[in-house]
Chain A
Amino acid sequence: MSGFFDIPSDLQHSWAGLIGLHLREALIPVAAGLLLALPVAQLCGRFRRLYPPVLGLTTVLYAIPSLAFFVVLIDYTGQTELTVMIPLALYSLVVLIPAIVDGVRSVPDETLAAATAMGLGPVRRYTQVQLPIAAPAIIAGLRVATASSISLVSVGALIGNQGALGNLLAAAQKYDRPELAVNAVLTMAVLAILCDVLLVLLRVLLTPWMPRGARSGTKSGARPGRFEEAEVKAL
Chain B
Amino acid sequence: MIRIESVTKRYPDGTMAVDRLSLEIPDRSITVLVGPSGCGKTTTLRMINRMVEPTEGTILLDGADIQRQPVTTLRRSMGYVIQNAGLFQHRTVVDNIATVPRMLGWGRQRARERAAELMERVGLDTALAKRYPYQLSGGQQQRVGVARALAADPPVLLMDEPFSAVDPVVRKGLQDELLRIQEELGKTIVFVTHDIDEAVKLGTMVAVLREGGRLAQYAPPAELLSDPADAFVEDFLGADRGIRGLSFLSTTALELTTDPVIPPDATAERIGAADAAHLLVTDGEGRPLGWSEPRRLTAGDIRPDRLLPYGRPFVPGVDSLRVALDCAVLSPTGWAVAVDDAGRVRGVVSQQTIGDAIRTAHQDGRTAHQDGRAGDEKVLG
Task: Tell yes or no: B100 within 8 A of A by CB.
Answer: yes
Contacts known (A133-B89, A133-B90, A207-B90); A117 close to B80, Cβ less than 8 A: yes
Residues in B whose Cβ lies below 8 Å from that of A132: 90
Interface residues of B in 121-146 (CB under 8 A from A): 132-134, 145
Query: Which B residues touch A207, using CB under 8 A?
Result: 90
B109 within 8 A of A: no
Size category of the A interface is: 20 to 34
Q: Is the CB of A209 within 8 A of B82?
A: no
**In angstroms, how far is the closest chain B Cβ from the Cβ of A208?**
7
Which stretch from B4-12, B71-79, B203-211, B318-326 is at the chain A interface?
B71-79
State A79–B134 Cα separation when bound (angstroms).
52
Give the CA-CA distance A118 to B71 in the complex, in Å.
Answer: 10
Supposing A129-B88, A209-B89, A209-B91 touch, asked if A117 and B49 sit within 8 A by C-beta, the answer is yes
B102–chain A nearest beta-carbon distance, Å: 10
Q: Nearest residue in B to A206 (C-beta to C-beta)?
A: B90
Residues of B in contact with A, size category:
20 to 34
Distance between A177 CB and nearest chain B CB, rounded to angstroms: 51
Complex interface: stretch among A106-114, A139-147, A192-200: A106-114
Chain A window 79-123, contacts with chain B (Cβ cutoff 8 Å), 1 for yes, 0 for no: 000000000000000000000000000001011111111111100
Interface: B375 (CB within 8 A): no
B72→A110 contact, CB < 8 A: no
A113 to B148, CA, bound (A): 14
How far apart are the CA atoms of A124 and B132 in the complex, in Å? 21
> What distance in Å separates the Cβ of A132 from its nearest Cβ neighbour in chain B?
5
A117's nearest neighbour on chain B, judged by CB, is B80
B51 at the binding interface (Cβ < 8 Å): yes
In the complex, A224 has a CB within 8 A of chain B: no
Closest to A121 in B: B72
B86-A114 in contact (CB<8A): yes
Partner of A108 from B78, B86, B100 at Cβ < 8 Å: B86
Contact A208 B132 (CB under 8 A): yes
Smallest CB–CB gap between A135 and chain B, Å?
8
Closest to A118 in B: B100
State the Cβ distance, B147 to closest chain A Cβ, in Å.
Answer: 13
Contact of A119 with B85 in the complex, beta carbons under 8 Å: no
Taking a contact as CB atoms under 8 Å apart, the answer to whether A111 and B99 are in contact is: no
- B285 CB to closest chain A CB, in angstroms? 52
A211 at the interface (CB under 8 A from B): yes
Q: What does the 1/0 interface line of B92-133 toward A look like (CB < 8 Å)?
A: 100000011001000000000000000000000000000011
* Inter-chain contact total with CB atoms closer than 8 Å: 72
B84 at the interface (CB under 8 A from A): yes
> A119 near B91 (CB under 8 angstroms)?
no
Q: By the criterion CB–CB under 8 Å, are B90 and A119 in contact?
A: no
Decide: A113 and B100 in contact? CB cutoff 8 A.
Answer: no
Assuming A133-B89, A207-B90, A209-B89, is B82 touching A118 (CB within 8 A)? no
Judging by beta carbons under 8 Å apart, are B134 and A118 in contact? no
Interface class of chain A by DSSP? helix
Q: Which residues of A contact B132 (CB under 8 A)?
A: 208-209
Inter-chain contact B88/A111, CB cutoff 8 Å: yes
The listed residue (A118, A135, A208) touching B103 by CB distance below 8 A is A118
Cβ proximity bits B136-163 to A, threshold 8 Å, 1 near / 0 not: 0000000001001000000000100000
**What's the minimum C-beta distance from B156 to chain A, rounded to whole angstroms?**
11
Q: Is A72 engaged at the interface, CB distance under 8 Å to the other chain?
A: no
CB distance from A167 to the nearest CB of B (A): 43
Q: Evaluate whether A114 and B80 lie within 8 angstroms (CB atoms) in the complex, with A119-B103, A209-B133 already known.
A: yes
A190 interface contact, C-beta 8 A: no
| Contact residue among B73, B80, B89, B133 (Cβ-Cβ distance under 8 Å from A118) | B80
B348 at the interface (CB under 8 A from A): no
Judge if A232 is at the interface, Cβ distance under 8 Å: no
Q: Which of A111, A113, A208, A211 contacts B51 (CB 8 A)?
A: A113
The reply to whether A210 and B103 form a contact with Cβ atoms under 8 Å apart is no
A209 to B95, CA, bound (A): 12
Answer whether residue B257 sits at the interface, using C-beta atoms and an 8 A cutoff.
Answer: no
Q: How far is the CB of A3 from chain B (nearest CB, A)?
A: 50
- Identity of the chain B residue whose Cβ is nearest the Cβ of A128 in the assembled complex: B88
* A108 CA / B134 CA spacing, docked (Å): 14
Contact A111 B100 (CB under 8 A): no
Instruction: Indicate whether A113 sits within 8 Å of B86 (C-beta atoms), given known contacts A118-B80, A120-B103, A209-B133.
Output: yes
Can you identify 29 A-B contacts, CB atoms within 8 angstroms? A110-B82, A110-B83, A111-B86, A111-B88, A112-B86, A114-B80, A114-B145, A114-B148, A115-B86, A115-B88, A117-B80, A117-B82, A118-B76, A118-B80, A118-B100, A118-B103, A119-B71, A119-B72, A119-B75, A119-B100, A124-B103, A132-B90, A133-B88, A207-B90, A208-B132, A209-B91, A209-B92, A209-B132, A209-B134
Given contacts A112-B86, A117-B82, A120-B72, 6 further A-B contacts (CB under 8 A): A110-B86, A111-B86, A114-B80, A116-B51, A118-B148, A119-B71
